[in-house]
Amino acid sequence: MTTLFADAKEEEEQAKYVILGVPYDGTTSFRPGTRYGPRAIREYSCNFESYMPHHHVDLISVPFFDRGDLEPECSPERVVAQVEQEIEGIIQRMKVPILLGGEHSITIGAVRAARPDVYIVCDAHLDLREEYRGSLCNHACTTARVLEDGVEDAIVIGARSGTEEQYRRAHEMTIFDADDVATRGIGTILEEIMGMVEGRKIYLSIDADVVDCCLTPGVGTPEPFGITPRDLRAIVRTLGPLSSAFDYVEVCPVDAGQTAAVAAEMIREFIAAHWVRACAEPPGRRVSSDTDKQR
């Protein structure tokens, strides 16, 4: 069984992209096992050809590095601090971090390190609880903590679950729920989002449960009537190239591999799409979402 993401052959110093796994599920509230997500994603990454025909890119030629897994502490607050420190170091070395979860609480630390203007999250849940089961850094509180950390805007795609209180608080954000995606089409929604984020630094977070659990059931908190893997691919292809950092979380490999396979492919899509844009940008013309603009 592989321990690294397929085709991640570059040395860290020369790499543009750095993959880091965080096998943590200490605040899991329904199905445990997302700590095994990074391993499953890496395993399924070896199933695919390195050539990405949509992007005309062979991943073997893209400089990306897999650092392996962080050894997480037990308390979610300390794990968040660990992730923040690691991601901050990756960004300081002018590289794009790609985080593999693990549960969604790890995103809090990554966003604190990346300091985006706009946080875009694909998630079945609003994650706006003030606290849950005694923890402010529970996976059910991720978006609440991000909003407190000073992002200008938060955009949620695919949401379809939350308490009444969370939905009242959600008015301070932009939400395109799963029914919006089904009725309006993901292309129309992405056009709207592109207008909202133009010239701004964004962070893109993917919670695996945004996809309908009837299609990818290997998640910690499954919800039916979600978006499709094809919708998610469109999101990553469109918004990924603009993102300063990226994570894919909440893969719980209890299925036949569908969920980890989609996750691995979306990470490949992110790398290829981001690389194509980076190569196309002339020197001095980089947008604020690129790591070169972060300092």
Q: Single out the residue of 59, 61, 18, 6 nearest to residue 260, CA to CA.
A: 6
What are the tens digits of pLDDT across the range 67-100? 999 999 999 999 999 999 999 999 999 999 999 9
Domain count, the chain: 1
pLDDT at 216 over 80: yes
267 is a domain residue: yes
41 is a domain residue: yes
For position 137, what pLDDT does the model report? 87
5 is a domain residue: no
**pLDDT band with cut points at 50, 70 and 90 for residue 237:** very high
And the tokens for 139? 């996976």
Residues 6 or more apart from 146 whose CB is under 8 A from it? 107, 108, 111, 119, 154
4 is a domain residue: no
Domain that holds residue 255: 12-293
Q: Which helix (H) or strand (E) holds 267?
A: helix 258-280
CATH number at residue 21: 3.40.800.10
156 is a domain residue: yes
Q: Which residue has the higher pLDDT, 288 or 128?
A: 128
2 is a domain residue: no
What are the tens digits of pLDDT across the range 96-154? 999 999 999 999 999 999 999 999 999 999 999 999 888 898 998 999 999 999 899 99
For position 132, what pLDDT does the model report? 86
Q: Which helix (H) or strand (E) holds 142?
A: helix 142-148
227 is a domain residue: yes
For position 107, what pLDDT does the model report? 97
3 is a domain residue: no
